[in-house]
Structure 1
Amino acid sequence: MRLTISVPACQEHGLPSAEPAGAWRFGQAMPPLREAGVLIICSGSLTHNLYEFRGQHGPASDYVTRFADWTAEALRKGDLQTLLDYRQNAPEAERAHPSDEHFLPLFVALSAAGSGYELEMLEGSVAYGVLAMDSYLFSSPSHTRRYRYDSRHRIL
């Protein structure tokens, strides 16, 4: 199947040497793209501990649920400093992310949205008990949406 999209898009792809504050600064360069109507997509993983991955389906591990719930609440509160210091503040952060690179795209997206963003959780699931795949939409109130979405958040 071939995807056809009628809006300009850019995808952030990995910041392997950055830390949360560096990813945040990177995202601060993106608002001009957003204001020009470019769809900014940042893809990572809400939890990413492959040391515990066994390729077996099962319920979400408790630490995965705690970390995902903590992240969602911090995003809802707009508590940037708490999020940037997630290694010290989030429950079992080291276990949820032995390294930062799969969590950093969240900071790029958050920064690109600008202050006063609207937050919507699009989908949340856990694969193999350890890989939380929550998806968030950050909408900037300073940017009037030019697109309409259907009930599955696809652009009409």
Structure 2
Amino acid sequence: MIPSYFFAHGAPSIVLEQNAYTAFIQEFAASITKPKAIVLFSAHWEQSMQTISAVDTYRTIYDFSGFQDELYQITYPANGERSLSEQILSLFAKHGIQSVLDEERGLDHGAWAVLKLIYPDADVPVVALSVNRYLTNEQQYQIGKALSELREQDVLIIGSGGTVHNLRKLNWQTEGIDEWAESFDNWLQNKLETWDVNALFNYRELAPYAEEAVPTNEHFIPLLLAMGTGDGNRQAKLLHRSYQFGNLSLSCWQFN
């Protein structure tokens, strides 16, 4: 059974960078069995109803501005997997989760920036899934849990977002780590490793510096989605954590 993973995707330019985190991601594929397909929740695809991509081949969405020209030349023409999209539709229905298929949308940078580093040849089929910031944290977890059986079919499930992701507080001049960001991530690490879902579902009230770390929740949601897929064994492992710009957390979590 393939574990599920959460990857922070940082800034879109991460796909061009050379640092400890990008080196980790580039080496990641060698650490797992090559999956038959990838199911990915991106923080940058928000829908009021759970939406499942069902395209033949993805176009690349450049959902950002002001970055280096080279970034806009990158493409990630992964294929979809219609049968898997329809299976996910059925799984959601089985668990009382309303969902629809989308046959148009391409891959946003929350998806392709990470996938380009893991599988640069775009040779693994992808099914992209949306997020909904207005659901409860427990509902997010349950959406992930509904997909857990896909892991037994050599499907790699990824949540792409960020744990500490506050663009207004970025410090472009420092190489240090802001104490508040590390404090939040340390709290989060403890609750994930002990699988304290009650604390995690109420992180806004319980975690230190939650408002600073998670000013809006769309980047945090993919962590709960990925975690939910591991509800059977409830084992979480931090594989990497580093920071950019003082407090932009670049982390990878594994859920077994």
- Indicate whether 1:135 and 2:246 are aligned: no
Indicate which of 208, 215, 236 corresponds to 1:119: 236
Query: What residue in structure 2 maps to residue 148 of structure 1?
Result: none
Indicate which of 22, 33, 58 corresponds to 2:150: 33
- 8 Å contact from structure 1 (residues 16, 101) kept in 2: yes
Query: What residue in structure 2 maps to residue 106 of structure 1?
Result: 223
Moved over 6 A (4+): none
2:214 maps to amino acid:
H
Distance 1:41 1:56 in 2: 31
Superposed CA offset, 1:17-56 (max 9, x none): 3342231121122112112120101111110111112433
Query: What residue in structure 2 maps to residue 154 of structure 1?
Result: none
Alpha-carbon deviation of 1:6? 3.7
1:134-153 equivalences in 2 (<5 Å): 134-139=251-256
Alpha-carbon deviation of 1:83? 0.5
- Indicate whether 1:11 and 2:40 are aligned: yes
2:240 maps to amino acid:
E
Once structures 1 and 2 are overlaid, which stretch shifts more, 84-93 or 5-14? 5-14
Once structures 1 and 2 are overlaid, which stretch shifts more, 53-62 or 70-79? 53-62
Query: What residue in structure 2 maps to residue 82 of structure 1?
Result: 199
Normalised TM-score (structure 1)? 0.80
**Aligned-residue RMSD, C-alpha:** 1.9
What's the % identity of the aligned pairs?
28
Alpha-carbon deviation of 1:16? 4.0
Aligned with 1:69: secondary structure?
helix
Superposed CA offset, 1:85-131 (max 9, x none): 00011001011111111111110011011233322211110111111
Query: What residue in structure 1 maps to residue 140 of structure 2?
Result: 23
Indicate which of 27, 42, 59 corresponds to 2:159: 42
> Which structure carries more strand by proportion?
2
> Which structure carries more helix by proportion?
2
Distance 1:25 1:109 in 2: 10
How many aligned residue pairs are there? 137
Structure 2 segments unaligned to the other structure (5+ residues)? 1-25, 44-130
Superposed CA offset, 1:61-92 (max 9, x none): 11101001000001111100100100011001
- 8 Å contact from structure 2 (residues 159, 226) kept in 1: yes
Normalised TM-score (structure 2)? 0.50
Indicate which of 66, 84, 93 corresponds to 2:210: 93
Query: What residue in structure 2 maps to residue 145 of structure 1?
Result: none
Distance 2:168 2:249 in 1: 14
